[in-house]
């Protein structure tokens, strides 16, 4: 009976040692896995952060170029009708937008929706302003009408504020 108790005590002690070693090693390997995952995420951010920042820069540039003041100055040509100018303005907006379509990969869906809505709203404003003019109106008259729009109410301004705030969250 004494031998049986001694063997039982040894088996019990070995079981405790085995269980302790098992749980310690399991915890060690879990921590090691977490450390490697964090390093991998950090490496991905080193690569992706500059690309994402560049995307935000390009979106800000797109929104600035779509704003009425910058758009009118950049696209305006003397001696053309308001209808021709309207077409040039819309074409410029669409080209800018199409050129930056790939940037939606790097910004949030909400930001991209705001950019898309700003584009559509700007085109709508151009069409509305042009529709309020006489058929023989000059491009200068359309320019004045577009420049008189309230800057604070512009969708491009709202989108710009949102995109800038989102980009600041990256830091």
pLDDT tens per residue, range 18-65: 999 999 999 999 999 999 999 888 887 787 888 999 999 999 999 999
Q: For residue 60, tell me if it sits in a domain.
A: yes
Mean local confidence (pLDDT), 124-141: 90
How many angstroms separate the Cα of 140 from the Cα of each of 4, 55, 134, 137? 106, 34, 13, 8
* pLDDT above 70 for 152: no
Whether 118 is covered by a domain: the verdict is yes
pLDDT of residue 161 exceeding 90? yes
CA distance 116 to 123: 11
Mean per-residue pLDDT for 87-116? 95
| Parent domain of 110 | 52-168
CB atoms within 10 A of CB 71: 23
Within a domain: residue 21? no
Quote the CA–CA distance of 13 and 22 in Å, as a whole number.
14
Tally of domains within the chain: 1
Give mean pLDDT, residues 110-130. 94
pTM of the model: 0.73
């Amino acid at each position: 009976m004494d031998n049986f108790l001694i063997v039982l005590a040894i088996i019990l002690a070995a079981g405790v040692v085995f269980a302790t070693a098992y749980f310690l090693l399991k915890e060690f390997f879990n921590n090691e896995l977490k450390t490697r995952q964090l390093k991998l995420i950090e490496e991905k951010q080193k690569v992706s952060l500059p690309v994402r920042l560049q995307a935000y820069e390009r979106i800000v540039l797109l929104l600035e170029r779509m704003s009425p003041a910058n758009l009118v100055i950049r696209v305006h040509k003397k001696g053309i009708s308001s209808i021709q100018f309207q077409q040039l303005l819309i074409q410029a907006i669409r080209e800018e937008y199409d050129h930056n379509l790939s940037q939606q990969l790097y910004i949030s869906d909400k930001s991209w929706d705001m950019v898309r809505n700003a584009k559509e709203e700007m085109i709508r404003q151009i069409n509305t302003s042009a529709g309020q003019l006489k058929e023989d109106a000059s491009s200068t008259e359309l320019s004045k009408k577009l420049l008189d729009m309230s800057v604070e109410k512009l969708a491009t301004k709202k989108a710009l504020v949102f995109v800038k705030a989102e980009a600041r969250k990256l830091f």
